[in-house]
Amino acid sequence: MIDVSSARLTNVAVHRVGNKTREEGMRLAEKESKVSESMAELLAKTYLAPLSKQKEIYDFFHESDLSLNAVSSIVGKIFSDSSDFVGKTQSLAKHLYATSTHQNVSVGDLVFLFFSGVKVDEAESSGLAVVKIENKDDFLEITESSDSFDIVQRSGISLNKIQKGALIFPDSQGVFVVDNLGQKTKYWMDDFLKVSPRATSKSYAKICGSILKGISSKIEDSQDVADLNEKITEKINSSEITSIAEIKELSSPYIDSEALSEVISGVVSSTGVDIADDYEIQSKDFAKQAKPITSRVRVRAGVGLVISDSKYSVSGVSITDNQDGFQAVVNIKARKEK
């Protein structure tokens, strides 16, 4: 549990970071930003409080050695000694620029807020909030002249929603992340922060969903996909707990061990999580991740069928080629109520 009611803002630095591919460059501050007491309270309310309320905890990772994770290493130095705060945040801004290579990454202001007096599980701690602001909103300002009021259009930062942010604590206390623009590019979490979800039922359920999706994509026969979907659904409905080992076992008749290992290795590489076969996952959590996969049957490459009502499932798919393309006969059955 995180309590920010007694948090105090001690250091602020802002840098501007562009898209490296477009050679937009950076503008790095040489001094810390000065903020008033009221502004410090506003920044804590706008950025620290929402980040502290994120439910999912992440941890830094690196494929070979955690010490090579740039953000983890630099932030660790800030927690050890917050002097030269600007210099250390410049290094973080340079790292962000190096990872800003996706075409959809926009130029933005990178804001660093260092707080003391944050309580994590009732123990006092420091915390570093990192926020990138890529979009600005239009707003109207009313100005008064001697004989009238004028309406002026301005552009500024919205205080209503964090676009990209992270709240980082020392000593493996965790990282809390917001990425509301993640549908465009994954660079904030995957390339800049390089974090993975801490092992929980929900985080492992997401991993299981990724594994199941990978397995389904490797199975060529439509009937086999339908059979696997039904077995996964039966497992979810019949047991409160599911494990990756059980998913592997259910998948083994339809995918060879080499292809299965390839799928799992890919998920491990992308998430940074050391996947344990025996980790127990709540089936209700896995069901949310599995439904988009088990409700879809690939009839043939580029052609799929979605069963939107969970009361029904595909029991058989037969395909006959003809001169115009192919004919598919899909058998639908009603699941037995339990």
Of 167, 197, 227, the residue at which a domain comes to its end is: 197
- Give the C-alpha separation, 136 to 154, whole Å: 10
Q: Which residue has the tokens 């994770």?
A: 69
Does residue 289 share a domain with residue 163? no
- Give the C-alpha separation, 304 to 118, whole Å: 50
Confirm if 234 and 327 have CB atoms less than 8 A apart.
no
- Mean pLDDT of all residues in 121-133: 94
Of 162, 179, 197, the residue at which a domain comes to its end is: 197
Partners of 125 in the beta sheet? 118
Does residue 64 share a domain with residue 205? no
What angle, rounded to 10 degrees, do the helices at 283-294 and 222-238 form?
160
Report how far Cα 202 is from the mean position of its chain's Cα atoms: 13
87-96, 175-184, 187-196, 321-330, range with the lowest pLDDT = 175-184
Does residue 273 share a domain with residue 140? no
Confirm if 9 and 115 have CB atoms less than 8 A apart.
yes
Q: What is the pTM of this model?
A: 0.69
pLDDT tens digits for range 141-180: 888 877 888 888 877 776 777 889 999 999 889 999 999 8
Does residue 257 share a domain with residue 164? no
Does residue 287 share a domain with residue 229? yes
Of 159, 179, 197, the residue at which a domain comes to its end is: 197
Number of Cβ atoms within 10 Å of the Cβ of 262 = 14
- pLDDT tops 70 at residue 182: no
Number of Cβ atoms within 10 Å of the Cβ of 169 = 20
pLDDT interval class at 337 (50, 70, 90):
low
Q: Which residue has the tokens 């309406």?
A: 151
Read off φ and ψ for residue 259, nearest 5 degrees: -65, -40
Confirm if 243 and 206 have CB atoms less than 8 A apart.
no
Does residue 126 share a domain with residue 83? yes
Does residue 88 share a domain with residue 54? yes
Partners of 303 in the beta sheet? 300
- 25 phi-psi bin (left φ>0, alpha ψ -120 to 50, beta other): left
- 95 phi-psi bin (left φ>0, alpha ψ -120 to 50, beta other): alpha
Percent of the chain exceeding pLDDT 70 equals 97
Q: Domains in the chain: how many in total? A: 2
Query: How buried is residue 127: exposed, middle or buried, by Cβ count under 10 Å (0-12/13-18/19+)?
Result: buried
Confirm if 13 and 33 have CB atoms less than 8 A apart.
yes
21-30, 100-109, 178-187, range with the lowest pLDDT = 178-187
Does residue 165 share a domain with residue 241? no
296: three-class secondary structure by DSSP: strand
- Quick one: which of 169, 129, 109 has its CA closest to 47? 129
Q: H or E element: which one contains 261? A: helix 257-271
Query: How buried is residue 264: exposed, middle or buried, by Cβ count under 10 Å (0-12/13-18/19+)?
Result: buried
What angle, rounded to 10 degrees, do the helices at 85-99 and 70-80 form?
170
Does residue 221 share a domain with residue 185? no
Q: What is the pLDDT of residue 117?
A: 96
- Give the C-alpha separation, 283 to 301, whole Å: 30
Does residue 179 share a domain with residue 48? yes
Does residue 246 share a domain with residue 164? no
Handedness of CA 16, 192, 2, 52 (dihedral sign): positive
Does residue 312 share a domain with residue 237? yes
Domain that holds residue 301: 201-334
- Give the C-alpha separation, 175 to 129, whole Å: 10
